[in-house]
Structure 1
Amino acid sequence: MRIEIWADVVCAWAYIGKRRLEKALAGREPDGAEVEVVWRPFRIDPTTPDRAVPIEEAWRDPMVDAALRQCAPGLSPAENRVRISEIAAADGLGPRWGAAWRAASHDAHRLMHLALGHGGAGLQNEVAEQVMKAHFIDGADISDRSSLQDIAVRSGFAAGAALLDTDAGDQDVRELLLIGKARAIATSPTIVVGDRALAGAQPPEVIADFLAQGDRSRELPAEVRRLRWAESLLDQHDPLGALTMLKPLLDEHADDPNVRRLAARGYFHSAQLSRAREVLEALVEDALDDSYARLMLGRTLQRMGKEDEAVVHLKMAGAMTPEYA
């Protein structure tokens, strides 16, 4: 069974959730099934600057203060920090607890992703442990390359230190962030098994019950999964993300009408109207009775200011499918 943890390593609940998952796994009845825990990237604060800021300075920022209050309604940021410290201590984290820096986590996620590719889930889990320990217990700046390189060496992933000075893993992490968004991952941490998700750092017994249900998902071809993720991103009003998700499909399955329709929607909603028109005209030429392609082509031509051309396709779309009229 593969367990995915979608989490941001600068999220205190991610580290607490890691300990709780470990307790849940330790208490499982042995059933012979191999368990693999894989970490996936999540971003709790996309506005974090590239250069880390001392945490006390960050707390004085009104936007950060407002965000912290939203995370814990009814508590001041200071009260919430005390609460989380107490919870962390109860879960065996400490004795010192608390980040010293408001730090960007992108390179840390790159290091963890590269560790998975080079040494598997076990190595990645050790890197995740050392990254979060450095951030929450040692007070290190985990956005600093030299700190991450030291972490890589301590974790047994010496090769990762040199890789951090390249762009290795960068695009993979960015795509995984998009996949998480497409899969509606909205909380750090979120534990995923198959197509089931458990949001938040739940108690070990809740996690154990969740894991006991196993992976009941139906395996889908990779192309179908990617197509569905692109659809999800379009539904979330992220056409550029959808086009990024579609790129491999456009390269490998350029003739598939479903891929082309989604690409046309992505071009349309990202105001790439000439590209949308090109794709839609080809779709209509290939299938004269494709009323949806005609509808989209008509709307694209309208936005381009070509009303006379648009009206022909809009009328035909309405005649073929009355709800489009």
Structure 2
Amino acid sequence: MMIEIWADVVCGWAHIGKRRMEKALASWDGEPVEVVWRPFQIDPAAPVHSEPLEQALRDPIADGALRACVPGLSPAESRARAAEAASEEGLGPQWGAEWRPNTLQAHRLIALAYDKGGAELQGRVVERVLNAHFVQVRDIGDPAVLSEIAAEEGLAGEFAGTGPDAVRELLLTGKAKGVRTSPTIVVNDLALEGAQPPETIREFLEDARRHAPRRLPSEVVRLRHAESLLDQRDPLGALTLLRPLLDEHAGDRGVRMLAARAYFASAQLNRARTALESLVAESPDDSYARHLLGRTLQRQGRHEEAASHLTLAAAMTPDYA
């Protein structure tokens, strides 16, 4: 059973949640599990070059991001509560961060660790990154700090040669799944938010074990995630997830239609028109494709062409009138 932990490595509750998960699994007697860490960013607007945290807290954007991490508490209250919980979990009396880094590169290292060495190597890297940020109070936005961790775990060459695209796609996948906070545990399409007590985690794992869903082809899952992003008004994110499907399944009508909708929603009108003209030519009785083509032409100022498609679409489906 795969346990996904969607978390940000600058979230104190992720560090606490890691300890609580370890305690929950220490007494787990169910099927074998694999714990996989996935990326989440509580502060995606953090600068590439880190800044002192106390200074950052005077920035309304950073303050808002930290408030969203623990709703109902100020950043100071949240940090105090997290420090108390960290002490209870044995993370040390000096526990606490001093930097506001952008965590994209740290997530890149963590994702690389899983790709190269599986959950065991990834778990070690996650522990090193969390320890660097919260115990050693180092700047994990500094490439030198991450490169040092990568070298210690045998990943130096691979880390130097990879980019952040895979992490950006994972961030979009988490958003499509509905991940809203750090940490969030996801097992078999069920989610548990927050650093819950070990007993609660065990109960959740028992429920999730009994909830094994029907396995869908990876292409179907990707398509559904792209559609979720489009429903969340993130058409560019949807197109990012659709890109491999457009390459590998260029003839699939569902893929092409979703791409056309995303092009329209992101104001890529020429691409939308090209895709929709092809879909309408193949299926002249597809009222939705014809309606969307009419709207696309309308937005391009081609009103006469638009009118014919909009009229036909409304005749086939009165709701489009």
Shared fold per TM-score greater than 0.5: yes
Overall identity of the aligned pairs, in %: 61
Match of 1:279 among 275, 279, 285: 275
1:101 aligns with 2:105: no
> What TM-score does the superposition give when structure 1 sets the normalisation length?
0.94
1:61 maps to a residue whose letter is: D
- Give the Cα–Cα distance (whole angstroms) in 2 for the partners of residues 62 and 315 of structure 1: 49
- Give the Cα–Cα distance (whole angstroms) in 1 for the partners of residues 105 and 282 of structure 2: 45
Q: Alignment length, in residue pairs? A: 319
Deviation at 1:169, TM superposition (A): 4.7
Q: Which runs of 5 or more residues in structure 2 are unaligned?
A: none
Which residue in 2 is equivalent to 1:196?
190
Which residue in 1 is equivalent to 2:227?
231
- Give the Cα–Cα distance (whole angstroms) in 2 for the partners of residues 73 and 290 of structure 1: 46
Give secondary structure in 2 for the equivalent of 1:84: helix
Deviation at 1:163, TM superposition (A): 2.8
Which residue in 2 is equivalent to 1:264?
260
Deviation at 1:84, TM superposition (A): 1.3
Which residue in 1 is equivalent to 2:17?
17
1:161 aligns with 2:159: no
> What TM-score does the superposition give when structure 2 sets the normalisation length?
0.95
Give secondary structure in 1 for the equivalent of 2:149: helix
Match of 1:86 among 55, 76, 84: 84
Deviation at 1:61, TM superposition (A): 2.6
- Give the Cα–Cα distance (whole angstroms) in 1 for the partners of residues 166 and 263 of structure 2: 23
Q: Which runs of 5 or more residues in structure 1 are unaligned?
A: none
Q: Could you list the runs of 4 or more consecutive aligned residues of structure 1 that deviate by over 6 angstroms after TM superposition?
A: none
1:16 maps to a residue whose letter is: I
- Give the Cα–Cα distance (whole angstroms) in 2 for the partners of residues 312 and 203 of structure 1: 62
For residues 44-87 of structure 1, give each alpha carbon's deviation from its aligned partner in whole angstroms, at most 9, with x where no partner exists: 10110001111222223343334444555664433332221111
- Give the Cα–Cα distance (whole angstroms) in 1 for the partners of residues 194 and 150 of structure 2: 27
Asked whether the equivalents of residues 223 and 249 of structure 1 are also in contact (C-alpha less than 8 Å), the reply is: yes
Match of 2:305 among 291, 302, 309: 309
Asked whether the equivalents of residues 42 and 69 of structure 2 are also in contact (C-alpha less than 8 Å), the reply is: no
Which residue in 1 is equivalent to 2:289?
293
Q: CA RMSD in A?
A: 1.5
Deviation at 1:34, TM superposition (A): 1.5
Asked whether the equivalents of residues 107 and 164 of structure 1 are also in contact (C-alpha less than 8 Å), the reply is: no
Match of 1:142 among 140, 143, 154: 140
- Give the Cα–Cα distance (whole angstroms) in 2 for the partners of residues 68 and 178 of structure 1: 20
- Give the Cα–Cα distance (whole angstroms) in 2 for the partners of residues 321 and 8 of structure 1: 47
Asked whether the equivalents of residues 46 and 62 of structure 2 are also in contact (C-alpha less than 8 Å), the reply is: no
Deviation at 1:322, TM superposition (A): 1.4
- Give the Cα–Cα distance (whole angstroms) in 1 for the partners of residues 311 and 100 of structure 2: 56
